Structure 1
Amino acid sequence: MHTGDVTARLAELLLGARCPGCGAPGMGACAACAAGLRRMQPFGVGGLPDGLPPVTAAGAYADTLRAVLLAAKERNALGLLPLLGGRLAAAVARLVLDAGGIPSLVLVPVPSASAQVAARGVDLTTSIARTAAARLRSAGLAVEVLRGLVLARRPEDQAGLTRIQRLANRAGAFRAVGPPPSGPVVVVDDIVTTGATLAEAVRACEVGDRQVIGAAVVAATMRGGGAR
């Protein structure tokens, strides 16, 4: 038995650790699930609110990708952040290539509620964005992460709301802070469903004189084309 197999089985015995994708014993995503996620081809997300710039997703919010995201979001499996950051980097790369090439850009994460950050001990979206930026810089793209949005008010839980209700619920939820960056902005988030959150984030950026060229997410739900 290989050393890695022994380590995985000892982790299962000690911690009950299993791959969130397939349930195989081990720490974090297993090699097969991680490779499967890396093979996913990012795509443009349709069916979102009018006026949104192009939105790309690394994959569909289903199966292994959904399980990995839920483990990071709901079970504080922070060891999965590098894998998720790599997928966000792929979505941003698709956006850049579709735009004909951009020498530099700024990733602006959708802000998280302070209660969520306190509960997790980390700002999940910002952490994923920073990992994505590092991967993109290693590919030669000049990228920085700017926490340029904050919550102006706390919206209600989006669960069970229609698209129109989600748009109304998110309206005015964010505001831009600090001076505008010199480069174009890509708004980033973990999931897109109806596009209500992204639409509000883009609105707040544009009101704050940010040049938004698109948005990128790790995963998109496929109900009518587009999570959150």
Structure 2
Amino acid sequence: MFEGLRVIDMTSVVFGPYCTQILADFGAEVIKVEAPGGDVFRYGAPSAHSKAMGPGYIALNRGKQSLVLDLKQEADRAILRDLLADADIFIHNVRAEAIERLGFDYNSVRALAPDIIYAHCVGFGSGGPYAGLQAYDDVIQAASGTTTLLPRADGNERPRYLPSLIADKVAGLHAAYAVMAAVVHRLRTGQGQHVEVPMFEAFSSFMLKEH
């Protein structure tokens, strides 16, 4: 389905990588860009064979190419600019202020590739009171009220997380849908766009279907 599309993936942990893993499964060429220290999820539950290739990391990053860039260095920023100029989709989870300092905010990237689909994975929507704050799965499970669900089912009053990175994965699915919709839009109009995918809002909407 996505053969011929190039994705520059500058995401880490689960939310963004789950999205780009789906795009890779659909045939896109995904180039995962990591800082010199690597995606921190590489070191979660490390395997016996390699501390930097944990099974969760491998599962979320299969089918991708890998590139290490130190974006504090101008030479490496130039490499990323060259990649973006020939890309269809750029997806990252760097906070807005930091990505702007690096020179890869939407307007800067659009100057390189006017029809690019620019997807920003965030913890909270930019129009809300928590805009700009970082978020991980446990934060979103708590903020959305999900940690109150198990006590309702088993009588143990202690709030608890669901035993899955469910907020990250649900948000990753929403990001994949959003990118696919943007691809359809570009096919119809020739125009790229800036797509924001907030984990809190996406997961709250998902959970509030029945709660």
TM-score above 0.5, yes or no: no
User: Under a length normalisation based on structure 2, what TM-score does the superposition of the two structures give?
Assistant: 0.30
User: Under a length normalisation based on structure 1, what TM-score does the superposition of the two structures give?
Assistant: 0.29
